[in-house]
Amino acid sequence: MANRIMYSVIPSLATPGEVAGTGGVVDYKALKQAAAGRHRVLEFGIRAVQGELRHYNRIRGANEKFASKISSFGRESALEYALTTFEDEGGWSRSYGGRAWAQIAKSLLQLARLDQSLFDFKMDKGSPEKEIALLKDVVVQLNVFDGLAHNTDSILRNLVELETMDNMQGKDENAWDEGVKNYEKMKDVMDAKELEDPMEVYKRIEPTLQDSGDINRYKDWTNKLRSKPEYHKDNEMTATNLFLIRMRKVFLSTRGYINNRIDKARSHLSMFKNDIINDPENLDPPSLNDFRTNLPYASSINPFSEMNWYIQKFIESYTGIAGLDKAIGVGERISGKGDQLISEYNKVADLFRETADDIYLARNNMDPEEAAKTLTSLMEQCITKMSAIVFYLDTI
């Protein structure tokens, strides 16, 4: 990944003369190195997809069917099957599969097709222009995959865990600790991609390039970077920007999760209203349990606790940097209001759960109409409180 980011930095260092006649490819070797990342992404991405297919509810053994398609028909056929399966949103429960994994499968499918095209190119010995075009497309698709993995934390974590388990099988005693470090490092590198200043981007990925030894591939370019005065200065806004980038990712992920729960809650509420019309005496229809099961606990929809953790992390890492105190102050105010909204939701959700239990236990002595009204009102309040959290995230 650091190689792909380095490739995006290089054009900012090139002179017009270095760009002329290259078709926009300033460094062919850097382009090839960046595109070479496809092999690792395909390997671990396909394994992650196969693992996720275990949670498909429509049929048993979807992951085995995926593996069989790889053996019989190749990666592209298997990924087409995975894409169709993930798009069946009714076949997935809670945080498994669904739209996010469909996007991952689609990205991997595009990458597999490009990889095959590059293989065919080598066999046919096509023109250099065609190879460059394919390599550029690969880098674009890898960046798409990175973005999807970054925005869906469970996917990024899944990929790192697969690599960690491979290392543990290799008897690496420190593999798990290294896996945790790699997970945080990957998130930091992905955050760095979104910085606007190429120099600051490079400074954030430089340690990763040094650790891997890949920095030696870019000696001419890194010498240029290090010769610039700004390389030796701390940009006061970098820490603040990285903090805000990370928070935006946390909020986006939480927002998508809550919206998904709101959509399901509305559907279950609608079914509950129909159920009590059709059978007023039944105060425990399946739709009520579906609503309750779907209703998230406060800890799972609270991005502000994670935000507070990052605030402490940034305080420890960037103490004294101008501008950071302001960002942290804003973050703490955001967190305070957010925690209040989470607390309000939690009170209503707990009240709904307690009331549903009480009504069920006393169902023989309850007025069904009044009980249904009470439950309906609390269900609507739960949805309203979740919607208030989403609205607040949209305004930040």
The pLDDT-based confidence of 111 (bands split at 50, 70, 90) is: very high
pLDDT tens profile 56-91: 988 889 999 999 999 999 999 999 999 999 999 788
More confident of the two residues 90 and 52: 52
**Residue whose tokens read 């910085």:** 195
CA distances from 372 to 5, 238, 256, 270, 271 (A): 57, 54, 30, 13, 13
DSSP type of residue 141 = H
Average pLDDT of the chain, as a whole number:
81
Tokens of 80: 């087409």
What is the Cα–Cα distance from 336 to 298, expressed in whole angstroms?
15
CA-based R_g, the chain, Å: 25
User: CB under 8 Å, gap of 24 or more: what pairs does 62-70 form?
Assistant: 70/46
SS3 160: helix
| pLDDT above 50 for 293 | yes
Report residue 330 CA to chain centroid gap: 24
More confident of the two residues 323 and 166: 166
Q: What are phi and psi of 56, to 5 degrees?
A: -70, 130
**Residue whose tokens read 């290090």:** 226
The pLDDT-based confidence of 21 (bands split at 50, 70, 90) is: very low
Spell out the domains of the chain, with CATH numbers in brackets. 2-232 (no CATH), 237-395 (1.20.58)
The pLDDT-based confidence of 27 (bands split at 50, 70, 90) is: confident
| pLDDT above 60 for 39 | yes
pLDDT tens profile 241-284: 777 777 777 787 788 778 888 998 999 999 999 999 899 888 88
**Residue whose tokens read 């995959």:** 145
Structure confidence at residue 310 (pLDDT): 66
What is the Cα–Cα distance from 395 to 390, expressed in whole angstroms?
9
Q: Within the chain, how many helices (H) and strands (E) appear?
A: 17, 0
Structure confidence at residue 20 (pLDDT): 44
pLDDT tens profile 166-216: 655 655 566 566 666 666 677 777 777 777 778 888 887 888 888 878 888
Q: Enumerate residues 6+ apart whose C-beta is below 8 A from 295.
A: 261, 265, 349, 352, 353, 382
| pLDDT above 50 for 31 | yes
| pLDDT above 50 for 24 | yes
| % of the chain exceeding 90 in pLDDT | 26
**Residue whose tokens read 């099988």:** 169
What is the Cα–Cα distance from 384 to 214, expressed in whole angstroms?
51
Tokens of 179: 């896996």
Q: Enumerate residues 6+ apart whose C-beta is below 8 A from 39.
A: 115
The pLDDT-based confidence of 219 (bands split at 50, 70, 90) is: confident
Mean pLDDT, residues 297-309 taken together: 75
Tokens of 119: 């293989």
Report residue 42 CA to chain centroid gap: 17
Q: What are phi and psi of 280, to 5 degrees?
A: -60, -25
DSSP type of residue 191 = H
Structure confidence at residue 267 (pLDDT): 92
Structure confidence at residue 17 (pLDDT): 55
| pLDDT above 80 for 25 | no
Structure confidence at residue 194 (pLDDT): 76
Tokens of 366: 């309850």
pLDDT tens profile 138-176: 888 888 887 777 556 666 667 767 766 665 565 556 656
Mean pLDDT, residues 340-351 taken together: 92
Q: Are 56 and 92 in contact (CB under 8 A)?
A: yes
What is the Cα–Cα distance from 168 to 160, expressed in whole angstroms?
12
pLDDT tens profile 355-391: 999 988 887 788 888 999 999 999 999 999 999 998 9
Structure confidence at residue 275 (pLDDT): 92
| pLDDT above 70 for 93 | yes
Please report, to the nearest 10 degrees, the dihedral formed by the alpha carbons of residues 165, 168, 169, 173 taken in order: -170
What is the Cα–Cα distance from 138 to 134, expressed in whole angstroms?
6
| pLDDT above 90 for 327 | no
Instruction: Give the number of other CB atoms < 10 A from CB of residue 27.
Output: 21
pLDDT tens profile 127-139: 788 888 888 888 8
Q: Are 155 and 100 in contact (CB under 8 A)?
A: yes
| DSSP H or E stretch at residue 263 | helix 236-278
Structure confidence at residue 177 (pLDDT): 66
Q: Are 201 and 285 in contact (CB under 8 A)?
A: no
Structure confidence at residue 319 (pLDDT): 54
**Residue whose tokens read 């509420």:** 269
Tokens of 60: 């048993």
